[in-house]
Structure 1
Amino acid sequence: MAGSKRRADDLSDGERAHKRSDTRYETFKATTRSDTQSRKEGVSNAVLLTTELLENILHHLPMKDLLLAQRVSRKWQGVIGQSKRLQQQLFFTPKESGSCWEFEAGDDEDESETAVQRGFRKITIAEHIERIKQGDPWVYELGELNTLLFRSDNFRLDERVEDGGYESFISPWYMPVWDKHASWRRMLITQPPAARVSTDFDFEPAFDHCEHVSGGQTGVTAGDLFKEVEDAEDAGCEWDFERHSITTTGLLFASPTELEEWSDA
């Protein structure tokens, strides 16, 4: 019948095979190019929109990248801002070290005694608190230095503690002093927080400025230190990026490997 559709029985074997081939091709093409891509995007979005998974991923970022990640989206900004672990990683929220050490100095009068025979002994938190109450200057909490703001001066471990518990650092400072409202100003300079630090800043013309800086309830922040620099600049001094030092007391900035080398020596 003219104009009517041909029944399947009327199709030749070749036409039926070609029709099946077209159908399979169209189905295969849709699956690989569209459906598969959609599935991948769906899985990625599900991971990045799941708070716990996103937090675990962001935890592995360097500090600077983690700060910049807050600009990606409101979701990311919210996760970073509400995560205690990430806020501690960014030095915005205080955290405890949980690792305390005693430095056992050798007898300087014994000529056979060498620096290698001095070492560190790990003590409990309760012992540390009791020794602090007694005014013992040779006990420390293991601390972290804010690497976004400072660079360690890499002194030998025994040299770092020979002055009764003071640690010293070389800056340079990487942050612009003139940015009055930058979030990094709220960053703690150490973890656990240092309640007080001593500064030794060199300015040009030759001017050695020493000051004790106390922090607020959470500890000394980058803003507290920069206030001192800004005051000196207001007085007409220029500061030298390479010649500043910060000292703290009661904190020991060392790696576990370094401590092990000095333990039980």
Structure 2
Amino acid sequence: MASSTGKKRSAPDSEGPAVTTAIKRRRRTDFGCSSMITRSQTLSAARNAVLHTTELLENILYFLPMKDLLFAQRVCMKWRELIQRSIPLQEALFFRPKELNVFWKVVEEADMLPKAVKISREQYMQGSPGEVFQTAIPNEMLCDTDLTFELFHWPSRSTYLLPQPSSTHPEASWRRMLFAQAPFCEFKFYCEHSEEPGRESVRDCALEMISFPDKSRAGDLMAHFEATEAEGNYVDWDSHELTFPGALFMVEEELEIGEVDPNC
């Protein structure tokens, strides 16, 4: 009788394919997580490289809205130091004067509103007051200026002061700001004041030509308000109007245009 010399065949393992599938799925998941971590690390490294490169960070900060740029100084000492020593950023915050060197001449035409055409500095220097102007960018934190309204009301170049919540704080940073870029040393200032708030019957007004040799900062004008209030008068913030006789207010994006025509 022949003896069986073959080994007993084992039963098929029904869990084998499931285990294999689970292992493959786990590997794909691990690879995906690893890939995401790698991408995150790469993005983090790129972000850090940008924010730690002075020139790139300065350029990014320059295009922030003015209030955001002020608050950016609170992020860290590095940002604060950069903003305080950067000439372009100090000019953007109106702490440092900036010459725009953009000049205009008003051209009158029959049956049409006058328009302004760009001229050279030499033409500006040879022009007459009320006929030639230089571009000014108003400080949006200090002034409310309707740039569109101005084009239809030549030669109106007025702006209205905005109330400041920290007006009683002598250390407030806005006091060091210029009213406009390029800075003007001379402007007309109109305000109303009364003995008590809301008493229209005793309201008085003042119209002055003010000259500041140090480029007309907000703190200089505040000294006039404080002197008026020290005499026992109440100053009405809503009536503060500044008129710059030689300025044409614009926004920075308009500096490259060659003509301002309200008829178009």
Give the secondary structure class of the aligned counterpart of 1:220.
coil
Report how far residue 77 of structure 1 moved: 0.9
Q: 1:97 aligns with which of 100, 109, 126?
A: 100
Segments of 5+ residues of structure 1 without an aligned counterpart are 1-13, 107-112
User: CA 1:38/1:97 → structure 2, altered by over 3 Å: closer, same or farther?
Assistant: same
Cα separation, 1, equivalents of 2:117 and 2:42: 55
Report how far residue 175 of structure 1 moved: 4.4
Report how far residue 259 of structure 1 moved: 4.9
State the percentage of identical aligned residues: 31
Report how far residue 19 of structure 1 moved: 11
Other-structure match for 2:239: 243
Write out per-residue CA displacement over residues 79-99 of structure 1, whole angstroms, 9 at most, x where no aligned residue.
212222111111111112222
- Aligned-partner residue type, residue 77 of structure 1: R
> More displaced, 16-25 or 144-153?
16-25
Other-structure match for 1:4: none
User: CA 1:128/1:175 → structure 2, altered by over 3 Å: closer, same or farther?
Assistant: farther
* TM-score, L = length of structure 2: 0.77
Write out per-residue CA displacement over residues 195-232 of structure 1, whole angstroms, 9 at most, x where no aligned residue.
11221111123121233322234x10011111111111
Cα separation, 2, equivalents of 1:47 and 1:156: 41
Cα separation, 1, equivalents of 2:205 and 2:259: 33
Cα separation, 2, equivalents of 1:69 and 1:43: 20
Other-structure match for 2:180: 190
1:147 aligns with 2:140: yes
Cα separation, 1, equivalents of 2:112 and 2:20: 88
- Aligned-partner residue type, residue 135 of structure 2: L
**Alpha carbons 1:94, 1:191 under 8 Å: kept:** yes
User: CA 1:175/1:150 → structure 2, altered by over 3 Å: closer, same or farther?
Assistant: farther
**Alpha carbons 2:187, 2:244 under 8 Å: kept:** yes
Other-structure match for 2:130: 137
Report how far residue 194 of structure 1 moved: 0.6
1:124 aligns with 2:120: yes
Cα separation, 1, equivalents of 2:170 and 2:179: 17
Other-structure match for 1:211: 208
Report how far residue 254 of structure 1 moved: 3.8
User: CA 1:19/1:245 → structure 2, altered by over 3 Å: closer, same or farther?
Assistant: closer
Q: 1:220 aligns with which of 210, 216, 221?
A: 216
**Alpha carbons 2:116, 2:261 under 8 Å: kept:** no
1:79 aligns with 2:82: yes
Report how far residue 126 of structure 1 moved: 1.7
**Alpha carbons 1:199, 1:211 under 8 Å: kept:** yes
User: CA 1:72/1:32 → structure 2, altered by over 3 Å: closer, same or farther?
Assistant: same
* TM-score, L = length of structure 1: 0.77
Cα separation, 1, equivalents of 2:133 and 2:225: 29
User: CA 1:156/1:196 → structure 2, altered by over 3 Å: closer, same or farther?
Assistant: closer
The structure with the larger Rg is 2
**Alpha carbons 1:213, 1:224 under 8 Å: kept:** no
Cα-Cα RMSD: 3.0
Cα separation, 1, equivalents of 2:151 and 2:244: 15
Cα separation, 2, equivalents of 1:258 and 1:151: 25
Other-structure match for 2:5: none
Report how far residue 237 of structure 1 moved: 1.6
User: CA 1:84/1:222 → structure 2, altered by over 3 Å: closer, same or farther?
Assistant: same
Cα separation, 2, equivalents of 1:73 and 1:39: 23
User: CA 1:21/1:232 → structure 2, altered by over 3 Å: closer, same or farther?
Assistant: same
Other-structure match for 1:58: 61
User: CA 1:259/1:173 → structure 2, altered by over 3 Å: closer, same or farther?
Assistant: farther
Q: How many residues align?
A: 237
